[in-house]
Amino acid sequence: MPYTKETILPLVDELKQRNNYADIAASIQAGVDFLTGQTYETPVFEEATAAQPLGRFMALLQSPDLWNENDRLVLQLISTPITWEGCKDAFLKLLVPTLDAPGTSSSIVLRFSNFTNFLQDRGCTPEEIGSLLIDYSGHGNNFDLSPLKFSPLRKFLQDLIKSADPQTITAYLRTWKNKGWNSLFYRLLAKGHPEREMEYLENVFLNTSDTATLMKVMLQNNFTRYEPLVENSTAHWTSTASYGNALAGYYLLAAHLPEKYQQKVISVAYDCLNMPTTSLSDNSVSELAVKELLQYDLSNAVPYLQTHIQQQRYLHAGAFQAVADTLKDNAVPLLLQALNNDYDARLVLPVLIQLSQSLYLDELWPFTLHKLKSVRSLVAPVLALHPQALEKAGELLQHKKADQRLTAAQILCKINTSQAHQLLQQTLDTEVNDDARDLMIETLGAGQSGTLADLVDAAKKRNKLSKPIEKWLDESSFPPLYLLDGSIASLDTVRFLLYRMSRAEGIKPDVEAKVLLAQVDRFRSNTFGLYLFELFLERGSDAKLKYLLITAAATGDDSLIVPLQTTVQHWIDTKRFKLMEIGMGALAMHGSSAALRAVEYFSRRYRVKKANVGTTALAALQAAAEEQQTSLHELCDLIVPTFDFEGKYRAFVIKDETYFVSLDHQFKPIFFNKKYKQLKSLPTAVAPATRESFKTLAKTISEVVKVQTERLENFMVIQRPWNVKHWQSVFLQSAIMNVFATRILWAAFNNNDQLIATFHSTEDGTLSAADGTAIILPENASIKIAHPVYLDNNTLHAWKQKFATENITPVFPQLERPVATLVAEAATNTLIEDFEDIVINTEQLNKHLEQKGWKLSEGIEGAYSYSWYKTNDEHQLEAIIEMSSIYQDDSFHYRLGTLYFVDKTKTSERWFNNTDKASLNCLLPLIDVPPVFYSEAIMDLASNC
């Protein structure tokens, strides 16, 4: 029977939310009418673009073994030739993954029968069906030659190809010769029709873009078998002047038989270097060519490279390093020649400075006059090492051109001695080049010219305040900018502030502007800050005018925070991420606890979804922490709201009588009289507004508790340490955090990060062990939230008993937290395969892993492959679990794969297109993974499997 409108309505409603719905509305309505039985005529369109929207209804399809009359209506809807042309790609992307779902033998047979019958009805031959399945499986986009690990789809393909007659295999070869290398097709072909294997490889070797990798894999797999094939292909490339491929081929062959192939490597290496740059399919082949020539034909290679560089012919970056590695100090003339012939200084200089300075420093001084700023900036820090650098840079500092004075400043700043500072100081007040002057200030420090008045006067003399920074800007119309001494900043002072803030880098205030900002009365200047904020918005929120926004943040009081936070949220919602970044920086620059709490809120809210926003917020917090000369975690400790509590109490007055409010173990407000005797409730005489304020306080505190609970649980996972004094300040002197302290088990570690004690804090700050004895913390101890992975069974049991006896409820799972410990035999392993082939509902796993702090990253091996990763920034590592998407039980599921841990200092990758992952040096042996992070990663997955 037809679909009901209620069944299709959610899909249609979702489509209506799309921006292009008006363009596809007619097609969608035609599909709805057909599927609901309003019409029995299949919609027919004259163009594929008009028919393509009908493919949206394929979302209603079940796995092919479950197809019923409703599914066949959808199939009929997309079956007319033009509609099928528009929907075929989407159909295959959707349905092919579902073929690999587990099932009974009968369901799998029915699944492939229904699917292939449908394609045959569309005119597909058996070969076309097989090739489509291989193509859309996404399993062949690698160089994996290992035996096939069978799944329903691979088993079906093996039987299909093995039973194919010679003519059909010829058709397969025709298709895959055009498509190029596919490891799945190759393994299926080699298994089912080994006599046709070489025919496929011969063609693929000549037409695969990554030929070198394929040749390497084949030769490693069986050198004797594949040497003739690689040799013939390489000879062909040589004859057709494809010297890059030819060099790769002979190089790989020479690694096995150098006596046979090394001379051919040398010959082709010269051919490669003689090729026009535009003819190189891979410019890195010039690096290999140079390395081989330097190793095996040194006497001829050096004069050849001199001529090559003189003619300004292309050389890969690695070629310069190869020259230095081989020739040592004798490479200096070649490298200097490259610099003089305008080779990229970013490539040549880092190699040159590895060699003896005396051989090249004098030759680099002429580059201070080079036309390119990039070259001058690169040679400046190198020239700072010259024995006469101070004198030469002093002379250059008097040059009539600003570019050369900037280079001189760069050299002197790099020298960074008292004599260099003296030269910079003498020039500071007269230097009109802002880049040079900013560099001097950065080295010398702010306020080098004296008072604020001196700074403004010097800027005026340099002609920096003669006109507004923008033609349309009228500072005389600004609200007053009040200073702490009660005076109002002059127009020149305001103009100086905007001029210097326009020079600010990133989200930190300019160092000279800081002198003025430190004297601003932000409370009285709130209208000034709000005016600049509104002016920025009125000018279209132009990113070029960001100095208006950050100046507003640096001068306004807390009244600016809500409108600024609301605006940042609007920019996030409308995907104006550049403005979001500026706005986030402005909030951080404001620097108040309320503003920083807003930034911290964004960092948490967008930790997973719109992760770029969360990353930006974290960067802004980090910048604020650096500005306040503290760590990120310590900054977030400082901005926990106090709600005007002094220690554990907050005083309030009712009819001239003083009372106190504190918090109970559930973070609920409790009340005391002036003798600190607890009251059952607020006195009846309390004013309605006061009573309402305490209701609001309770609600606000509950929100803070939620934030801090999440934060503290994360601190347990990453094992964040506090020193004793800071821990006492954070947890024993704050009403809210003291409650947390009483509901957490703590651990003390020595300087060698060895556990020395576990303890609990009572309400009055007394610290005790599980047996009740007092604990005195060593001054040099570090305090962490205890994780059960570090506790032996007796200690854990004792603490469980104590918490139960004293009715202490942990704020998050701690003592009962399941743990995973590393077994000795797996210590040197890098891969964990315990979760492979476990199938979990996609929505369920997404929700679970997001709650546990994992993030989703799409892979590169196919449209249905993914990885989830969890980061530990404290130790610079990530846990990564790979998975693929399949269709099962009427919905998409994840099939889990390999779990491993990556050292982030060695790679930025989260996905490795490498069948031998165990060989990657960025993967950590499990013994090197912190025990807590290992346990958490394992249990995050195990608890949902």
Q: How confident is the model at residue 847 (pLDDT cuts 50, 70, 90)?
A: confident
Average pLDDT for residues 174-192, to the nearest whole number?
92
Residues 325/354, Cβ–Cβ less than 8 Å: no
Residue 210 has pLDDT above 80, yes or no: no
Q: Which tokens go with 224?
A: 């004797």
b vs e for 49-76, b when ≥16 Cβ sit within 10 Å of the residue's Cβ?
A: ebbbbbbbbbebbbbbbebeebbebbbe
φ, ψ at 87 (rounded to 5°): -110, -10
Average pLDDT for residues 226-233, to the nearest whole number?
94
For position 860, what pLDDT does the model report? 44
Q: How far is CA 334 from the centre of its chain?
A: 40
For position 800, what pLDDT does the model report? 93
Residues 169/142, Cβ–Cβ less than 8 Å: no
Average pLDDT for residues 249-271, to the nearest whole number?
94
How do residues 386-403 score in pLDDT, each as one tens digit?
999 999 988 998 898 888
Whether the predicted model's global pTM rises above the 0.85 cut: no
Average pLDDT for residues 304-317, to the nearest whole number?
91
Average pLDDT for residues 662-690, to the nearest whole number?
87
Average pLDDT for residues 679-705, to the nearest whole number?
87
567: nearest Cα among 584, 548, 545, 588: 584
How do residues 70-127 score in pLDDT, each as one tens digit?
999 999 999 999 999 999 999 998 999 888 887 888 889 999 999 999 999 999 999 9
Rounded Cα distance between 723 and 718, Å, is 16
Torsion (CA) 329, 333, 338, 340 in degrees, nearest 10 = 130
How do residues 859-893 score in pLDDT, each as one tens digit?
443 344 578 889 888 888 999 998 876 655 556 67
- Mean pLDDT lowest for which of 102-116, 423-437, 565-579? 423-437
For position 863, what pLDDT does the model report? 42
Rounded Cα distance between 400 and 402, Å, is 7
For position 561, what pLDDT does the model report? 94
| Helix, strand or coil, per DSSP, at residue 488 | strand
**How many other CB atoms sit within 10 Å of the CB of residue 805?**
8
End-to-end CA distance of the chain: 38
How do residues 783-830 score in pLDDT, each as one tens digit?
999 999 999 999 999 999 999 999 999 999 999 999 999 998 899 999
φ, ψ at 353 (rounded to 5°): -75, 0
For position 437, what pLDDT does the model report? 82
How do residues 323-370 score in pLDDT, each as one tens digit?
999 999 999 999 999 999 989 999 999 999 999 999 999 999 999 999
678-679 sheet: strands from edge to edge: 650-654, 657-663, 669-672, 678-679
Average pLDDT for residues 433-449, to the nearest whole number?
74
Rounded Cα distance between 520 and 555, Å, is 7
Average pLDDT for residues 404-427, to the nearest whole number?
88
- Mean pLDDT lowest for which of 592-601, 675-684, 905-914? 905-914
Mean pLDDT value across the chain: 88
For position 861, what pLDDT does the model report? 39
Q: What is the DSSP string of 766-834?
A: -EE-TTS-B----TT-EEEE--GGGS-HHHHHHHHHHHHHTT---SSS-TT-------GGGTT--EE-T
Domain segments of the chain as ranges:
1-93, 238-358, 360-445, 709-805, 824-942
Residue 692 has pLDDT above 80, yes or no: yes
Q: How confident is the model at residue 1 (pLDDT cuts 50, 70, 90)?
A: low
Average pLDDT for residues 553-580, to the nearest whole number?
94
| Helix, strand or coil, per DSSP, at residue 880 | strand
Residue 300 has pLDDT above 90, yes or no: yes
- Mean pLDDT lowest for which of 590-594, 617-621, 833-837? 833-837
What percent of the chain has a predicted confidence (pLDDT) above 70?
95
Residue 253 has pLDDT above 90, yes or no: yes
Q: Which tokens go with 236?
A: 């062909």
How do residues 458-480 score in pLDDT, each as one tens digit?
889 889 999 999 999 999 999 99
Answer with the residue of higher pLDDT: 11 or 767.
Answer: 767
Is CATH 1.25.10 the classification given to domain 360-445? Answer: yes
Average pLDDT for residues 641-670, to the nearest whole number?
88
Rounded Cα distance between 74 and 637, Å, is 57
Rounded Cα distance between 285 and 248, Å, is 8
Q: What is the DSSP string of 213-247?
A: HHHHHHHHH-HHHHHHHHHHHHHHHHHTT-HHHHH
How do residues 401-412 score in pLDDT, each as one tens digit?
888 988 988 999
